[in-house]
């Protein structure tokens, strides 16, 4: 085992920006990726898989810039078992203080059939590509994709080949979420016992959640000797997602009595990054999701409340503040001043310069005028409202008035400022949101298709703010827009326009894009 992974230390490898982001619909913009990467770096993630550089010009640029900005984390890029992929990956990650190349090939019978390689030919390919990566970078991770459905003897053979060729981390992916805890542990144990050189490298576990066992499978692998867990924030990822970072970190923390392993993660930063990932990906967190769901710390039944009042430990195995969840309390009202706002925002993890505070204070006052009580969650929604920081947007919402009635159609009067010019229209639709979206379409013609429309109340009460996410697709490019407002239709309109603005930026950049490839396109 290398000195990066001690016996009782588990490395956290976050792949939100690669495996998470490659899941259909979870596309993040360049700026959002940089922001998430910075948050991951600050929370103590050991390795950030920042993207798949060969996939597109956009991915390449994001990985390069994340590599340049990273302070502590190792920055890793993904590459198929192909020299061009590996070279492109190195070009992007080489700017990091601590770069890593992650290269992989599918080794199960089903995956071997795709590039049509015999077992022996694949071994040669693995040897050559890992050696090539190692000549570029002294930190190389190798993965046999679909390892959990690969024959044991062949898996030992390919892992040994990769170690001999210079891999420093061997990742064992459960690509289709097929394994179960006991089997996951046995596989790691089998490899450690049988593969020559296994004690020189770090074994990693990479689980998908198709059967709801990703976290359990990852922890079982750790107990068997894996010392790197691959995971994503909120369990974001294709199909049922990947292992959730917050679940692994908190399980190791809360049940350290039976799983005596440490991570470097500052768990108090979990809530903030969970909210941000949900907002930029457009994938809302389910209410009863472990650790980060809205109900994870809510004790609503009578018995629970009584027990909680007597002794919080009766029903609580961890404290809300351990994951960065401040008690939901009344924070500010319309008479609160700037200093109180600054202090509260600091508590919530937002440090603002004077000019930023000035702007946020104006928006806070407007909100407090419409809403008697301003809670922590309201301030978080206010801070993550993407439509308020949009000087460069080509389209801006200037005014909206909607007429509703029991008998439709509903009517929306909308004025947008498009490239600096005000334009107005009245449109009808089946409901206020449909009428509003039709008005946007009438003013700014586009072919983008609405893929998802999601509304959530930030707090309780009829004066609660609504946060709205809108996902739109145009020629294979996806953008997620979001906005918050006490008026659901206004929030919807702004979120729609926000997504359109992002698509316009992607459209402008598309000129330079190479064809986008997925890590599943085997060459
Ligand atoms: O699930 C998987 O097999 C992967 C590999 C590319 C590591 O994500
Ligand atoms: Zn995966």
Which numbered ligand comes closest to the C-alpha of 102? 1
Alpha-carbon distance of 95 to 102, in angstroms, equals 16
**pLDDT reported for residue 513:** 43
The bridge status of strand 202-207 relative to strand 228-231 is parallel
User: What's 2's DSSP letter?
Assistant: -
3-class secondary-structure state, position 467: strand
Alpha-carbon distance of 316 to 329, in angstroms, equals 19
DSSP codes of every residue in 231-274: EBGGG--STT-B-BHHHHHHHHHHTTTTS--B----GGGHHHHH
| Domain topology for 395-510 | Double Stranded RNA Binding Domain (3.30.160)
User: Which residues are bridge partners to 473 per DSSP?
Assistant: 449, 478
Q: Cβ(451)–Cβ(394) under 8 Å?
A: no
- Distance (Å) of CA 186 to CA 32, 148, 217, 269: 39, 11, 11, 33
**pLDDT reported for residue 515:** 47
Distance of CA 175 from the midpoint of ligand 2 (Å): 5
Alpha-carbon distance of 120 to 46, in angstroms, equals 35
143 CB less than 6 Å from ligand 1?
A: yes
In sequence order, what are the residues at sequence separation of 6 or more whose Cβ sits closer than 8 angstroms to the Cβ of residue 485? 465, 466, 491, 494
The bridge status of strand 410-418 relative to strand 74-80 is unpaired
φ and ψ of 89, to 5 deg = -65, -45
The runs of H, that is alpha helices, within 255-330 are 270-281, 302-310
Alpha-carbon distance of 129 to 278, in angstroms, equals 36
3-class secondary-structure state, position 142: strand
Alpha-carbon distance of 307 to 335, in angstroms, equals 36
Q: Cβ(431)–Cβ(406) under 8 Å?
A: no
Task: Please report how the helices 119-136 and 83-93 are oriented relative to each other, as an axis angle in degrees rounded to 10.
Answer: 30
Torsion sign (Cα): 462, 467, 471, 472: positive
Alpha-carbon distance of 176 to 209, in angstroms, equals 8
* Residues of the chain falling short of pLDDT 70: 1-6, 299-310, 312, 327-331, 386-390, 509-517, 519, 521-523
Pocket test for ligand 1, best of 172, 206, 231 (most atoms within 8 A of CB): 206
Tokens of 132: 């090539």
Given the CA of residue 176, which atom of ligand 1 is nearest to it? 1
Distance of CA 193 from the midpoint of ligand 1 (Å): 24
Distance of CA 467 from the midpoint of ligand 2 (Å): 30
**pLDDT reported for residue 268:** 96
Alpha-carbon distance of 361 to 375, in angstroms, equals 15
Q: Cβ(293)–Cβ(300) under 8 Å?
A: no
> What number does CATH give the domain 9-281?
3.20.20.70
Distance of CA 515 from the midpoint of ligand 1 (Å): 21
Domain ranges for the chain: 9-281, 293-323, 395-510
**pLDDT reported for residue 376:** 80
Distance of CA 175 from the midpoint of ligand 1 (Å): 6
- Distance (Å) of CA 409 to CA 400, 403, 493: 17, 9, 18
Task: Write the residue with the smallest CA distance to atom 1 of ligand 1.
Answer: 175
Torsion sign (Cα): 349, 354, 355, 360: positive
Tokens of 387: 């439509």
Q: Cβ(472)–Cβ(448) under 8 Å?
A: yes
């Amino acid at each position: 085992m290398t000195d990066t992974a001690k016996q009782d230390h588990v490395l956290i490898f976050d792949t939100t920006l690669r495996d998470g982001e490659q899941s259909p619909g979870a596309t993040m913009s360049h700026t959002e990726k940089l922001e998430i990467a910075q948050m991951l770096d600050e929370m103590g993630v050991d390795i950030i898989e920042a993207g798949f550089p060969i996939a597109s010009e956009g991915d390449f640029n994001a990985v390069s810039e994340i590599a340049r900005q990273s302070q502590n984390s190792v920055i890793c890029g993904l590459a198929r078992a192909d020299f061009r992929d590996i070279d492109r990956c190195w070009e992007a990650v080489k700017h990091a203080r601590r770069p890593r190349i992650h290269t992989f090939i599918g080794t199960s019978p089903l995956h071997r059939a795709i590039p049509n390689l015999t077992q022996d030919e694949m071994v040669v390919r693995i040897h050559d590509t890992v050696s090539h990566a190692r000549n570029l970078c002294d930190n190389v991770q190798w993965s046999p994709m679909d390892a959990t459905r690969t024959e044991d003897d062949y898996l030992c053979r390919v892992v040994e080949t990769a170690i001999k060729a210079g891999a420093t981390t061997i990742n064992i992916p459960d690509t289709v979420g097929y394994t179960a805890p006991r089997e996951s542990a046995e596989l790691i144990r089998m490899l450690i016992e049988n593969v020559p050189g296994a004690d020189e490298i770090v074994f990693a576990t990479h689980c998908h959640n198709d059967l709801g066992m990703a976290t359990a499978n990852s922890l079982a692998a750790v107990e068997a000797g894996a010392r790197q867990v691959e995971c994503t924030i909120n369990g974001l990822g294709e199909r049922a997602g990947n292992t959730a970072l917050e679940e692994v970190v908190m399980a190791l923390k809360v049940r350290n009595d039976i799983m005596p392993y440490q991570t470097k993660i500052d768990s108090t930063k979990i809530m903030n990054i969970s909210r941000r990932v949900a907002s930029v990906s457009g994938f809302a967190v389910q209410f009863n999701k472990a650790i980060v769901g809205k109900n994870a710390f809510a004790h609503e039944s009578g018995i629970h409340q009584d027990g909680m009042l007597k002794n919080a430990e009766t029903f609580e195995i961890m404290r809300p503040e351990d994951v960065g969840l401040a008690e939901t309390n009344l924070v500010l009202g319309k008479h609160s001043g700037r200093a109180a706002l600054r202090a509260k925002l600091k508590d919530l993890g937002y440090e603002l310069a004077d000019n930023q505070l000035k702007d946020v204070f104006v928006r806070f006052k407007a909100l407090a005028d419409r809403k008697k009580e301003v809670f922590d969650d309201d301030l978080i929604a206010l801070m993550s409202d993407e439509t308020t920081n949009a000087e460069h947007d080509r389209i801006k919402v200037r005014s909206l008035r909607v007429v509703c009635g029991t008998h439709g159609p509903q009517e929306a009067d909308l004025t947008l400022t498009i490239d600096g010019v005000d334009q107005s229209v009245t449109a009808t639709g089946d409901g206020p949101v449909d009428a509003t979206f039709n008005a946007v379409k009438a003013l700014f013609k586009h072919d983008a298709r609405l893929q998802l429309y999601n509304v959530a109340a930030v707090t309780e009460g009829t004066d609660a703010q609504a946060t709205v996410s809108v996902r739109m697709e145009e020629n294979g490019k996806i953008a997620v827009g979001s906005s918050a407002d006490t008026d659901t239709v206004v929030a919807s309109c702004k979120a729609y326009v926000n997504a359109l603005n992002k698509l316009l930026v992607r459209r402008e950049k598309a000129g330079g894009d190479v064809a986008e490839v997925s890590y599943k396109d085997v060459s």
